[in-house]
Amino acid sequence: MSADQTAAVIESPSRRRRRPRLPLAGIIGGSIVAFWAVMAIIGPYVAPHDVGALVDDDVFGQMRWAVPLGSDFLGRDVMSRILVGARYTVGVAAAATFLAVLMGGTLGMLAAVSRGAVDMVLSRFFDALISIPSKMAALVVIAALGCSMPVLIGTVALIYTSGAFRIWRALAVNVNTLEFVEVARARGEGTGYLIREEILPNIAGPVLTDFGLRFVFAVLILSGLSFLGLGVQPPDADWGSLVRENIAGLADGALAVVTPSVAIATLTIGVNLLIDNLPGRWSSNGEH
């Protein structure tokens, strides 16, 4: 073996980049999120009963074999309704968050790269939009346009687009001043190239964290709207709707009220545990 080969063998372990390991809390959070994501997909197919079927003669019934999580105010199976409701809670929140991050993130990076008048106009517009209280805006829009799924998704997406714009723009501005971006601009690269190849890869960690936080906000505001009767409408129901329709059993601690509340809590806690423990979630130092 030559001296060069020997040196390569000796140096190779130090040159390897170790894969960042997810802490135990992150693994727990990821498992919870994965569980509810799977339930959002297969929940209606594994639910033990039809969501509208009256399977218990006793309202707010306790746990037993036929109704593992008890029955609701009409005698319907709570487990089945939670499993089917996961599709609406997780699905609608994920769709709204994706749209908010897509619109706000794209415009934020565009403003940071373009600078000048484009940056000023977009920044002032979203500053004005973010000053409107989110719940008030949601109530006004839904009261005017109705409670359909597209309206819910569009309303929540619009509410959180402003926050996504500000976060993505702030991150992109920091990277936009670095040397490799200036070199690419000097080569004559266009705005699309700078955003796609230079800016976005270097802010991936923080923006993934931002996506997780906005997803939690979307779950909570959608659940709140459903609790007020302005969210998912019967015969469909998300977890917020399940809490609202079974609120009469709260004084007795009925499982029909407790279990959808626990589902909301576990989903939000799981997302927070996951994003708080993501490796490199705050690294936006422009390593290229």
Cβ atoms 233, 147 nearer than 8 A = yes
User: Distance (Å, rounded) from C-alpha 244 to C-alpha 89?
Assistant: 14
Q: What pLDDT sits at residue 23?
A: 85
Rounded mean pLDDT of 17-46? Answer: 87
Q: What pLDDT sits at residue 18?
A: 58
pLDDT band for position 231 (cuts 50, 70, 90): confident
Rounded mean pLDDT of 120-125? Answer: 92
Rounded mean pLDDT of 280-287? Answer: 51
Q: What pLDDT sits at residue 9?
A: 42
Phi then psi for residue 238, to 5 deg, are: -100, -175
User: Distance (Å, rounded) from C-alpha 258 to C-alpha 69?
Assistant: 10
CATH architecture of 27-276: Orthogonal Bundle (1.10)
205: pLDDT strictly greater than 90? no
Q: What pLDDT sits at residue 7?
A: 43
Q: What pLDDT sits at residue 154?
A: 94
Q: What pLDDT sits at residue 281?
A: 55
Closest CA to 192 of 114, 99, 100, 103: 114
Burial class (CB in 10 A: 0-12, 13-18, 19+), 114: middle
User: Which structure tokens are listed for 132?
Assistant: 């409107």
For the chain, give every domain's residue range.
27-276
User: Distance (Å, rounded) from C-alpha 97 to C-alpha 217?
Assistant: 9
287: pLDDT strictly greater than 80? no
10: pLDDT strictly greater than 50? no
Q: What pLDDT sits at residue 242?
A: 93
Q: What pLDDT sits at residue 201?
A: 86
User: Distance (Å, rounded) from C-alpha 223 to C-alpha 236?
Assistant: 13
pLDDT band for position 165 (cuts 50, 70, 90): very high
pLDDT band for position 5 (cuts 50, 70, 90): very low
Q: What pLDDT sits at residue 157?
A: 94
11: pLDDT strictly greater than 90? no
CA dist list (Å): 281 to 22, 59, 202, 229, 278 = 12, 47, 11, 37, 6
Give the chain's mean pLDDT. Answer: 85
3-state secondary structure of 135: helix
